[in-house]
């Protein structure tokens, strides 16, 4: 329609060349001449307007995010909705591998070099302090206002806030949970386990009776990567241990940490409820084994629930989910995981980028990602909203499990910490090093990181938003 209108406009103008208009102006009374000149200028302006709106290229906004472990269609639908409502913004999705470690490598290298070819990106909860300190995150406080994150769960908010300023918006939440084969436990009249000892006994009992030769007791993330740090921390905390106390003292050689990592190793040997291949497993490896019906228990994130309960899942209706087991003295403590959305500090379009961040973290978007994708919202109100609970009944089930989650150490040096822990935890669970030796070695390396002479925060020198 607009194109036709433009053609009509140009025809009229072509028929009335400027010299003719001037000649007529001399022949006609002055008022008529002015009227015609007014119309002429109006037409030119109108044509200019139509042309400039049509010629104006939509702004390209690049959105980088990991390959989601949950269903991806709901995110694509949301992005299409956004494109439809914002024709002046052309959102281009660029998908990175799902591994947190690989993504960190990508962002670290590119942002260090000041890359401005992506605008919005998803951040693992553990990166926010490091990226903020490096000056890579656009400050969002002016967009959000002072209470902008009041509706969000406290755990993830803590990771994106520094001295009252906000640097990312929590997008979806993760916490370690225990999946179990409800049908198998029912078959033998066994209750879901609340302690690690009960988990081992239950698995051993069922393994002794079931005939499936591939059946194993417990699968978890034991590969040398970030997922192993999450699992190992859960075991250490189940015995009341920690990596660091509130004063920054290292606690890895304490008996609680040793007991936790010993318990993790014990699943493989001597208890043999976890297969040795668990030391190469990530989230999806564990889920495939469990979803095939070849494991009794699985430690994983909430995303697996929607996939296991899907219509095409052979385990539909045969799986339960509960809090991670604790030890005889302490309850289980899930590790807090999840992803935020942030704006690249070097993006040339922060205002448009904010429109996308704000849309994707809105109540509506989070509800859709929960109902259709199984991702757990970061906004508290969604969990008690009857409509949201109707769309995704697992919200009620997961809420207490998510609320109990504890963050990994919140420090700008987290990645250095994690790299040390990944290597030493892996050496301990594979049996390459005795547990005490691995933890002692980890502690020595972490001491050196803590003693590093840390340069001034770069973001303080970067130009303000
Ligand atoms: C999940 C969590 C993330 C964690 C990662 C480890 O993606 O959300 O926080 O670092 O798993 O594999």
**Is the confidence at residue 29, as pLDDT, over 60?**
no
Q: Which of 124, 339, 373, 375 is the best mutation target for the ligand 1 pocket, counting ligand atoms within 8 Å of the beta carbon and taking the most?
A: 124
Q: Write the pLDDT tens digit of every residue in 385-402.
A: 999 999 999 999 999 999
Euclidean distance between CA atoms 172 and 301, whole angstroms: 12
In this structure, the answer to whether residues 277 and 195 fall within a common structural domain is yes
pLDDT at 4: 34
Q: What is the residue-wise DSSP string for 350-382?
A: HHHHHHHHHHHTSHHHHHHHHHHH-PEESBHHH
Instruction: Give the CA-trace dihedral at 364, 367, 372, 373, to 10 degrees.
Output: 110
The band of 453, judged by pLDDT with boundaries at 50, 70 and 90, is: low
CB of 170 sitting under 6 A from ligand 1: no
Euclidean distance between CA atoms 299 and 321, whole angstroms: 10
Starting at the earlier edge strand, list the strands of the sheet with 319-322: 216-219, 295-300, 177-181, 319-322
- Tell whether 418 is covered by a domain: no
- Tell whether 412 is covered by a domain: no
Residue ID of nearest Cα to ligand 1 atom 4: 337
In this structure, the answer to whether residues 183 and 316 fall within a common structural domain is yes
pLDDT at 452: 78
| Both tokens assigned to 196 | 């690690």
Q: Which of 129, 170, 227, 402 is the best mutation target for the ligand 1 pocket, counting ligand atoms within 8 Å of the beta carbon and taking the most?
A: 227
Q: What is the mean pLDDT of residues 45-73?
A: 75
pLDDT at 20: 41
Quick one: angle between helices 435-450 and 255-268, nearest 10? 130
In this structure, the answer to whether residues 344 and 328 fall within a common structural domain is no
- For ligand 1, what atom is nearest to the CA of residue 230? 6
Question: What distance lies between CA 289 and its chain's CA centroid?
Answer: 24
Closest-CA residue to 457 (of 181, 122, 46, 129) = 129
pLDDT at 465: 61
**Is the confidence at residue 138, as pLDDT, over 80?**
yes
Boundary of a domain, candidates 359, 375, 403: 403
- Tell whether 451 is covered by a domain: no
- Tell whether 85 is covered by a domain: yes
In this structure, the answer to whether residues 304 and 364 fall within a common structural domain is no
- Tell whether 454 is covered by a domain: no
Residue ID of nearest Cα to ligand 1 atom 6: 227
| Residues 6+ away with beta carbon under 8 Å from 317 | 309
**Is the confidence at residue 14, as pLDDT, over 80?**
no
Q: Which of 230, 280, 398 is the best mutation target for the ligand 1 pocket, counting ligand atoms within 8 Å of the beta carbon and taking the most?
A: 230
**Is the confidence at residue 17, as pLDDT, over 90?**
no
Euclidean distance between CA atoms 340 and 100, whole angstroms: 13
In this structure, the answer to whether residues 387 and 399 fall within a common structural domain is yes
**Parallel, antiparallel, or unpaired: how do β-strands 295-300 and 319-322 relate?**
unpaired
Euclidean distance between CA atoms 436 and 428, whole angstroms: 8
CATH number at residue 234: 3.40.190.10
Q: What is the mean pLDDT of residues 123-139?
A: 96
Number of domains within the chain = 2
**Is the confidence at residue 460, as pLDDT, over 50?**
no
pLDDT at 122: 98
- For ligand 1, what atom is nearest to the CA of residue 98? 7
* pLDDT > 90 fraction of the chain, expressed in percent and rounded: 81
Q: pTM here?
A: 0.86
Chain mean pLDDT for the chain: 89
In this structure, the answer to whether residues 213 and 289 fall within a common structural domain is yes
Q: Write the pLDDT tens digit of every residue in 375-434.
A: 999 999 999 999 999 999 999 999 999 999 999 998 888 999 999 999 999 999 999 999
CA 165 to centroid of ligand 1, rounded, Å? 24
Boundary of a domain, candidates 355, 375, 403: 403
CB of 100 sitting under 6 A from ligand 1: yes
In this structure, the answer to whether residues 164 and 103 fall within a common structural domain is yes
pLDDT at 12: 34
Q: Name the more confident of 147 and 12.
A: 147
- Tell whether 343 is covered by a domain: yes
CB of 174 sitting under 6 A from ligand 1: yes
pLDDT at 464: 52
Q: Which of 221, 283, 337 is the best mutation target for the ligand 1 pocket, counting ligand atoms within 8 Å of the beta carbon and taking the most?
A: 337
Buried b (16+ CB within 10 A) or exposed e, 327-342: beeeebbbbbbbbbbb
In this structure, the answer to whether residues 283 and 345 fall within a common structural domain is no
pLDDT at 412: 85
Q: Write the pLDDT tens digit of every residue in 330-352.
A: 999 999 999 999 999 999 999 99
Three-class SS of residue 341? strand
- Residues forming beta bridges with residue 174, ordered by sequence position: 337
Alpha helices in 16-72 (DSSP H): 18-27, 30-55
- Tell whether 302 is covered by a domain: yes
Closest-CA residue to 313 (of 287, 332, 334) = 287
pLDDT at 457: 54
- Tell whether 445 is covered by a domain: no
| Structure-token match 């030391």, residue found | 279
pLDDT at 417: 95
- How many residues are there in the chain? 465
Boundary of a domain, candidates 370, 403, 436: 403
Euclidean distance between CA atoms 156 and 124, whole angstroms: 10
In this structure, the answer to whether residues 114 and 246 fall within a common structural domain is no
In this structure, the answer to whether residues 117 and 189 fall within a common structural domain is no
Q: Which of 142-146, 206-210, 320-324 has the lowest mean pLDDT?
A: 142-146
In this structure, the answer to whether residues 184 and 303 fall within a common structural domain is yes
Q: What is the mean pLDDT of residues 197-213?
A: 98
CA 229 to centroid of ligand 1, rounded, Å? 10
In this structure, the answer to whether residues 321 and 310 fall within a common structural domain is yes
Residue 69 belongs to what domain range?
A: 59-174+337-403
């Amino acid at each position: 329609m607009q194109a036709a209108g433009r053609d009509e406009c140009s025809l009229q103008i072509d028929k009335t060349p400027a010299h003719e208009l001037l000649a007529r102006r001399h022949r006609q009374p002055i008022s008529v001449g002015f009227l015609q000149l007014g119309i002429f200028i109006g037409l030119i302006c109108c044509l200019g307007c139509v042309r400039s709106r049509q010629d104006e290229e939509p702004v390209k906004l690049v959105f980088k995010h990991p390959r989601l472990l949950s269903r991806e269609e709901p995110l694509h639908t949301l992005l299409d909705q956004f494109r439809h409502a914002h024709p002046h913004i052309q959102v281009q999705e660029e998908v990175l591998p799902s591994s947190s470690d690989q993504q960190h490598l990508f962002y670290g290298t590119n942002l260090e070099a000041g890359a401005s070819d992506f605008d919005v990106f998803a951040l693992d909860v553990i990166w926010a302090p490091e990226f903020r300190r490096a000056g890579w995150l656009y400050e969002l406080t002016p967009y959000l206002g002072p209470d902008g994150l009041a509706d969000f769960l406290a755990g993830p908010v803590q990771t994106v806030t520094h001295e009252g300023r906000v640097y990312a918006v929590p997008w979806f939440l993760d916490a370690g949970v225990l999946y179990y084969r409800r049908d198998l436990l029912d078959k033998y009249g066994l209750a879901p386990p609340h302690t690690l000892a009960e988990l081992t006994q239950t698995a051993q009992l069922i393994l002794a009776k079931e005939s499936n030769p591939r059946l194993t007791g417990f699968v978890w993330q034991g590969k040398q990567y970030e997922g192993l740090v999450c699992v190992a921390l859960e075991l250490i905390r189940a015995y009341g241990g920690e990596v660091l106390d509130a004063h920054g003292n290292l606690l890895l050689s304490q008996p609680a940490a040793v007991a936790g990592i010993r318990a993790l190793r014990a699943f493989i040997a001597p208890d043999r409820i976890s297969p040795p291949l668990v030391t190469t497993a990530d989230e999806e490896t564990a889920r495939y084994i469990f979803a095939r019906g070849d494991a009794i228990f699985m430690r994983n994130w909430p995303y697996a629930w929607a996939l296991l309960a899907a219509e095409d899942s052979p385990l539909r209706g045969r799986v339960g989910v509960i809090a991670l087991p604790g030890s005889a003295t302490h309850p289980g403590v899930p590790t807090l995981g999840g992803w935020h959305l942030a704006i690249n500090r070097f993006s040339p379009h922060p205002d448009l980028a904010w429109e996308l961040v704000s849309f994707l973290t809105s109540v509506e978007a989070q509800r859709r990602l929960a109902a259709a994708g199984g991702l757990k919202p970061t906004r508290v109100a969604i969990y008690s909203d009857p409509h949201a609970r109707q769309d995704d009944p697992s919200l009620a089930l997961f809420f207490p499990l998510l609320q109990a989650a504890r963050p990994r150490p919140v420090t700008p040096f987290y990645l250095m910490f994690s790299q040390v822990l990944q290597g030493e935890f892996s050496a301990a669970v594979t049996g390459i090093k005795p547990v005490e030796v691995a933890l002692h070695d980890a502690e020595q390396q972490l001491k050196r990181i803590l003693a590093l002479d840390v340069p001034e925060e770069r973001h303080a020198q970067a130009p303000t938003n």
